Amino acid sequence: MPEPADLERRATDLLQRLIRFKTVNPPGDEEPAQLFLEKLLEGAGFECELLYAVDGRPNLVARLGASSDGARLALLSHVDTVLADPEEWSVDPWSGELRDGCVWGRGALDMKSQLAAEVAAATALAEEGWRPASGELLVIVTCDEEAGAEHGAKWLCERQPEKVRCDMVVNEGAGEVLEFDGRRVYGVCVAEKGVFRFRLTTEGRAGHASLPRIGDNALTKLAPLIERLGERRASYGLSPEPEVLMHALGVDPGDGSDGALAQAIERVEEIDPRVAIVLEPLLSVTLTPTMVSASEKINVIPSRAELSVDCRVPPGLGEQEARAAVAEVLGEDGYRIEFGETVVGNRSAIDTELMEHIRTFVAEEDPGAEAAAVALPGFSDSRWFRDAFPECVAYGFFPQRKMDLFEAAPLVHGADERVPVEDLGLAARFYAQLVEKVLG
């Protein structure tokens, strides 16, 4: 096992260097960073391959195998980031500056930190001469995650499945400590909500805006629907992931009915409203209005108005449940609904060998704390691996103790994104220990 101080130093230095590669997506431009990582991993003894869906945007797959068959463990990350406006930052977003015990820069949390910790752990082990007793370690670094993964994990899993086939995946999605009512819980992302975005349309009759009653304004018909979306919610329901999380937090879900869960959320709200904000979306189909369009000219009464709604459904649910939630919140008349982008929610099993390794690590590193399954309201590259390899266990876990969930979440895609060096070391220790325990 590499020395903790060495792992922390490696991860910190590597993250600083990775942030300095400007991999904003679009356009991505991930190739220079991937070539750098390829050289680093090859130097440690990995067999590396760059796989291109499009020119200039490779995915990196690095392998360290044994002579006998066994489990295949993948450390998964993406190297692209979202944009940053330097005028909003206290530091240069692409400086990788070390300040106040943190590495600052775009991608410091999402997710070059995890990339750095995974690669630091893998290369430190390999350079010490470690090799799997059986099976194979894969380090997979994708492009294009921030824009939908068409050229990244989606393409790899659909078009190059044998290159990335694995039994276990550790990716992003959770890991920050959550403190609530005297308890400390580290989330493990085992599932992701589905996306069923749709457009609501109201119809009317056009006319000149100077004579308001000459037409039939479709936009004013839309207004009550928007108000209902802001004031009402779909019924709560209990699924495995939030049930586990609630028990870990000491929150009683009762019989799992809408009324019991509403009371539970009220109790959480009284103790810490921030936790309610995180927990509540996991209990129902959520309907969030985001975009409106109507007349193209200010002096024309619109004959049609459209509202775009971001709809997220718990894992295992689909369009039928999304439509039922819409009818419950809006009623069934006065609009037309058309679904566009749909992504079915996905999950991995909760009680697995990988979860036991995580629970053991948390108990050793933070006595009294525990690890608990959570679902991600959004989605990550884990879904492509769950789709492609149904037996694969894919979890999101980047342990953070110094910076908790409520400090970290606003920084993701925000200004002054940063990660504590202490958390980089913690994560690198986890990945190194996991690799040795799973692969021997």
Distances from the Cα of 411 to the Cαs of 40, 55, 180, 255, 414, in angstroms? Answer: 29, 31, 21, 36, 5
Q: Does domain 194-343 have CATH number 3.30.70.360?
A: yes
Instruction: Choose the CATH number for 4-173+380-439 among 3.40.50.80, 3.40.630.10, 3.40.50.1820, 3.50.30.30.
Output: 3.40.630.10
Neighbours of 270 (CB within 10 A): 9
Q: Give the mean model confidence (pLDDT) for residues 151-157.
A: 98
**Which residues have a Cβ under 8 Å from the Cβ of 112 and sit 6 or more positions away?**
15, 18, 19, 77, 79, 81
* pLDDT number for residue 67: 84
Counted residue by residue, the chain has a size of 440
Give residue limits of the domains in the chain: 4-173+380-439, 194-343
Q: Would you place residue 107 in the very low, low, confident or very high pLDDT band (cuts 50, 70, 90)? A: very high
Confidence tier at 341 by pLDDT (50, 70, 90): confident
Q: Is 90 exceeded by the pLDDT of residue 80? A: yes
User: What residues contact residue 289 under an 8 Å CB cut-off, 6+ apart?
Assistant: 226, 229, 230, 307, 308, 309, 310
The rounded mean pLDDT for the chain is: 96
pTM: 0.93
Q: Which residues pair with 336 in a beta bridge?
A: 201
At 321 the three-state DSSP class reads helix
Residue 47: is its pLDDT beyond 90?
yes
Section 146-165 average pLDDT:
97
3-state secondary structure at position 290: strand
Q: What is the mean pLDDT of residues 425-432?
A: 98
Average pLDDT over residues 25-48: 98
| 9-40 residues labelled b (16+ CB within 10 A) or e (exposed) | bbbbbbbbbbbebebbbeebbbbebbebbbeb
100 band by pLDDT with thresholds 50, 70 and 90: very high
- Mean pLDDT of the 233-261 span: 97
pLDDT over 70 for what percent of the chain?
A: 100
Return the structure tokens found at 68: 């006998």
Position 101 scores a pLDDT of 98
Q: What is the pLDDT of residue 334?
A: 94
d(CA 82, CA 63): 28
**308 pLDDT higher than 90:** yes
Tokens of 292: 């409106």
